[in-house]
Copies of this chain bind each other. A is one copy, B any other.
Amino acid sequence: MLPTHIITLKQIAHDLKLSTSTISKALRNSPEISAITKEKITAYAKKLNFRHNPTARALKTGSSKTIGVVLSTIENPFFAEVINGIESAAHENGYNICITQSHGSSKMEKTSITQLIRYSVDGLLISLAAETTDTGYLQSMQNAGLPLVFFDRVAPQINTHKVVADNFAGAYQATLHLLNSGCKRIAFMSSALNTSVALERKAGYLQALADKGLAINESLIRYCNQDGESNKEIDEVVNELLLLNEVPDAIFTATDNISTKVFQCLHRKGIRIPQEIALFGFTNSDLVELTAPTLSSIHQPGFDMGKKAAEMLIALIVNGAKDITFQTLVLPVKVYARGSSRCIGCA
């Protein structure tokens, strides 16, 4: 019903007194068509500014030249960066992207994915919701031939390409830094443990403690099941920590969201950082270098992650997944020790 004079193959065929199939083939540079008619057709199509109708093409071919993206929320600056990386790689290769948000809900995640499939996306780029445990339906889709690449929050049980940050190293270094600064009771706050990310970051945290000969204190290890989506959840967890007999002298916050929220929470409570509680977190917000104190943080290469993941996905789409050894790409993180982690012993 829209732009009244949308050009179709049929139109061109009519004008040029050729058949639609000839036009179709010519415009896709098929060797079946003679150079001379090809020339004529492309020239005319260009003049009319013809563009293929992607809907018709998708219906016919089952491929839409579109990549579906599923992540928790674009309000997280890290994911915003990732999307720009994805967008960059996609556009370079003639793909569009369709972004959907799960907002941390497995249900919405599944709905989104199902929707994307129905729109015949050519492949999916997924960072799982923190609460997601069942990925059976994704496995079925992969089995049915859907190209799939995970980034950030990957599904360990699904065998495909994955792009992640070096979560272990980031967490290890953050914790080590806190320890070197003199902290003894370092709390760990992360989203639920069912994500690879949370597991790896916890492992890094534990390893650092172990390397320094500190015992693990389970009461200092806390989970925000909604990944700190609600301030209430953050508040509760922080309150619990503050009511311990042995109040922590530092918190290592393992996700972007939890990091800034905990910072805000402590600030609201008037707790001095780092004097009373030191802080080290994961975040991609560039404002943390302006906060008081500046927030020590692990920075993930969001743009690169998105770009690499998209490139891997496109390779899967184009070449297929036959005879492929799936790989997990681990990207280095950057460690910024700033004011919030009370750097005593180190630079």
Query: Which residue numbers of A lie inside 8 Å of B, CB to CB?
Result: 1-4, 51, 53-56, 58-59, 62-64, 73-75, 77, 80-81, 83-84, 87, 96, 98-99, 101, 114-115, 117-120, 140-141, 144-146, 260, 263-264, 267, 285-293
Contacts and interface: CB of A to CB of B under 8 A. Distances in A.
Given A101-B87, A287-B291, A55 B64 contact: yes
Number of copies: 2
Contacts of A74: 74, 80, 83-84
Contacts of A73: 80, 84
B119 A2 contact: no
Nearest to A84: B75
Contacts of A55: 55, 58-59, 64, 118-120
Contact of A3 (B54, B59, B117, B260): B117
Contacts of A263: 290
Contacts of A59: 53, 55-56, 59
A264 B294 CA distance: 12
Contacts of A117: 2-3
A3 B290 contact: no
Contact of A54 (B53, B75, B118, B141): B118
A290 B74 CA distance: 21
Contacts of A77: 75, 77
Contacts of A290: 263-264, 267, 291-292
Contact of A98 (B98, B140, B288): B98
A299 B287 CA distance: 17
Contacts of A96: 115
30 contacts: A1-B145, A2-B62, A2-B117, A3-B117, A3-B140, A3-B144, A51-B114, A51-B118, A53-B118, A54-B118, A54-B119, A55-B64, A56-B59, A73-B80, A74-B74, A74-B84, A75-B77, A75-B80, A75-B84, A77-B77, A96-B115, A98-B98, A99-B99, A263-B290, A264-B289, A267-B289, A285-B287, A287-B288, A287-B291, A292-B292
Nearest to A98: B98
A224 B98 CA distance: 31
Given A73-B84, A267-B289, 14 more contacts: A3-B141, A54-B118, A55-B55, A55-B59, A55-B64, A55-B118, A56-B59, A59-B59, A74-B74, A77-B77, A80-B80, A96-B115, A264-B290, A291-B291
